Structure 1
């Protein structure tokens, strides 16, 4: 999530530069982001080495901590590939290059399935094999995209080769990437923190499994929204760069409606097939029954998450990452998590209480981002971009 967040700065920089026809800037922004992401990956890899003691400090089960540490350590090489891959994805995405991304993603997925089957199913390498399959897949996907960028004529205007000049753009990239990473991590970590807290509840095996299923389901539902989030980020940043304020506003309205509509479709499936869905995760009748009880709360959170997902995309397109990061800090850690702990432990609502507290955070987040979007002075943002374009003569 950190690397995904760091690459979010490119959604503002590359998107607005492309809309303003400052094509050469895109290649320089990409290179500066690759430099920054490599440095961040080196720092994260050091933390990953100490995964087991950190998990034990958080009072997690020793056996689970050891297994998780083994899986994470084996993925350290893949971390650098994943970071570069996210930068390349944003670079292409901001130029509305979509179909090649779909093709490369499909090829990577097929490769991953084959590798995982070979290393885990055939060679019996277990967790180590699964982790190795992930790392190899990331490197393959990264190298495929990089080769496409370097050899395709589509990017002749936006990619002029590697340049020392890219180091000049590292600081502007970091200024947007850092709050973008904080913005993404604050939200993602809130969900992960719920799983850790669930381990402290009575009958922790059931409660942890239940919250993990809910978190996984929320993530799957969010993947639908994430596509719209990326689309609205691209359209908004491009139109702002081009000075088309009305088109930017229209993109927000249309994307929000489509995202909520698809989220409702997923919600209807979950409402009528929750037992079937839970049985895909666990064969325990107790967990399936408990999931049915918490499903209505999960449905509410999915709808809220779909709305905020699009609004977060607008934030990245406009360069409001710092506002979104502050919003997520307040929504999840000053409101959502304290209420979740209060409901779960003090009022003894347990897993339902944890998810109810999360919903309170999501409500605060979605409403805050909506207010920011509605009160935005779009013309002022567009004017700032046009002034920057004029200062470089439209040639940078």
Structure 2
């Protein structure tokens, strides 16, 4: 069986699909990753550093140019999206044009490679369009906490995708034959999808020796995000440092802090370079991060409380889910919030409950036969 795996050209969109792609490959199926840009720059390797075959379908796509165009043509929507309040309009304004540009390259790839199944994430519905055009089944693999079916339907209904459908004479796009979700049900509610255990974020170097030694005081990890959330997290890191200086009885660990901050960390604050969150999280009592779904799920899988900052795109939604589940706090960094992170037993208990829930979710290998049966 040949499976074409399609993701938007961003690391956070491709990375959650890689465990399932590697499970397909390890089961003897052919796999081709179709994405581009920073998604490949951050690596598409699996266990043991094995990289899957990939093709860049976003070579001529400039996300910055599309974002600038969106800001000019839809300024209100774009500004709302930067605060996490863009909704469906924000989704269409950014990822509609992205998918229209991906469609042409994907159609060519499918004509030449002839996949039996197209597996795509919710923000890469050009994959669903390609599957419909070539009359092969599509599998929707969620890559975060948003409702994947709803997001995909919103994009398929956007004007850019309507133009792409007309260009290739695709009258209708069937619903996905299978939906896979990595979101714990207690966090997002029941979904008409097959659960797949999310994989921890393993990109980064090894754990430094000093972090392997247990700390007398609880450690709070501050993770920086990438892309548009980075600036927010820099500001938050400064607030964390000021809070620590105010007498918090904890040890702060800043992951890749800005250079200007690293030069004046203060007492009780240490920094660490590019280390995989999967290595950092288990040695810390709590974590503060920019609200990305990857960091949310990594913290939940570790079973430690988290403070998720509301931010652009889906980050405000993710922070609300964490707060509603009681496994952490969704809001700004304050000294009181940091105290709650390390001393509130209810937060810790809820985080451990979700960790147990994630551990019970089937691994990617357990769902391979479901997809193979579609070919």
| Same fold? TM cut 0.5 | no
Larger strand share, 1 or 2: 2
Q: Which has the higher contact order (CA 8 A, sep 6+)?
A: 1
**TM-score category, normalised to shorter length:** 0.3 to 0.5
Q: What TM-score, normalized to structure 1?
A: 0.31
